[in-house]
Amino acid sequence: MEKVVIREIAILVPENQQALVDHLISAKQIKTGLLIAINAEKMIACAKNSQVKALIQQAEFNYADGISVVFSIKKKYPQWQKLTRIAGIDLWQALLQRSAELSVPVFLVGGQADVVNQVIEKLSHQQVNIVGCQHGYFSEQEERAVIERIKQSKAKLVTVAMGSPKQEIFMQKAQQIYPDCLYMGVGGSFDVLVGKTKRAPLLWRKLNLEWLYRLLSQPTRWQRQLNLLRYAYYYVMNKL
């Protein structure tokens, strides 16, 4: 699958979400590596933190989750005008559906203990083959034991809901010990799935205003949304 480069980060440019799902998990092959959603916030994190930037540069599968990143790709690469945003939670659910169809073993990491248990219950009804789980509140000293559990489970898809960049750092450490699976960072997707956090209505999503809905429903996010303004500077000044 082709990639483009935005601010020194290589990003996949699939025809659509289904094409990306087919690329990652099929009856013939399950890809291995880190699957990371790229948005303005992560781009700014890369500009501020060389460790995060190096990690994301090394990731095998970065995809455009943020509409600002999609606009940047279209501006820098006119041939990709049909590229659309792929929301992380939608991709996660699509990969879980594919995993259920193919009996792919899945391991869940992150969230509060009660939340991850609710996620397991919901996914079990969808016939997802859950082979293990771990809440997200473990210490650095417990990290190795968690990774060993993932390895022993022989999971082929590990989804990590710990927030960025914590989840990406954990995924990289896990990959170094157990590289034989696909690791996906899913942020707050567990909370959305169980109804703890409300997702933007469909109309807002179609208008690419999911970020604005989150800001209005969670005003404490305003400092995080300042990253959009910082990224807008890169866009306007063609520093892509």
Over the stretch 117-147, which tens digit does the pLDDT of each residue have?
Answer: 999 999 999 999 999 999 999 999 999 999 9
> Is residue 24 classed exposed, middle or buried when 0-12, 13-18 and 19+ CB atoms within 10 A define those classes?
buried
**Two tokens at 96?**
């879980």
Q: Could you tell me the end-to-end alpha-carbon distance of the chain, in angstroms, rounded to an integer?
A: 21
CA-based radius of gyration for the chain: 17
Give mean pLDDT, residues 145-166. Answer: 98
How would residue 237 be classed by pLDDT, with cut points 50, 70 and 90? confident
Residues 137, 111: Cα–Cα separation, whole Å: 8
Q: What is the pLDDT of residues 87-100, one digit of tens each?
A: 999 999 999 999 99
β-pairing, 3-6 vs 9-12, is: antiparallel
List Cβ<8 Å contacts ≥24 apart for 147-154.
147/173, 147/174, 147/177, 147/178, 148/177, 149/107, 150/107, 150/109, 150/174, 150/178, 150/181, 151/177, 151/178, 153/105, 153/107, 154/105
Residues 115, 135: Cα–Cα separation, whole Å: 8
**Two tokens at 192?**
């959305």
25 close to 157: Cβ distance less than 8 angstroms: yes
Residues 211, 189: Cα–Cα separation, whole Å: 15
Residues 62, 56: Cα–Cα separation, whole Å: 8
CA 162 to chain CA mean position, Å: 11
Q: What is the pLDDT of residues 67-113, one digit of tens each?
A: 999 999 999 999 999 999 999 999 999 999 999 999 999 999 999 99
CA 147 to chain CA mean position, Å: 19
Q: What is the pLDDT of residue 225?
A: 66
Percentage, residues of the chain above pLDDT 90? 80
Q: Could you count the other beta carbons within 10 Å of the beta carbon of residue 54?
A: 12
Give mean pLDDT, residues 169-191. Answer: 97
3 state SS of 71: helix
Q: Tell me the domains of the chain and their CATH numbers.
A: 3-236 (3.40.50.10700)
Residues 185, 165: Cα–Cα separation, whole Å: 9
Please determine, for residue 149, whether its predicted confidence score (pLDDT) is greater than 80: yes
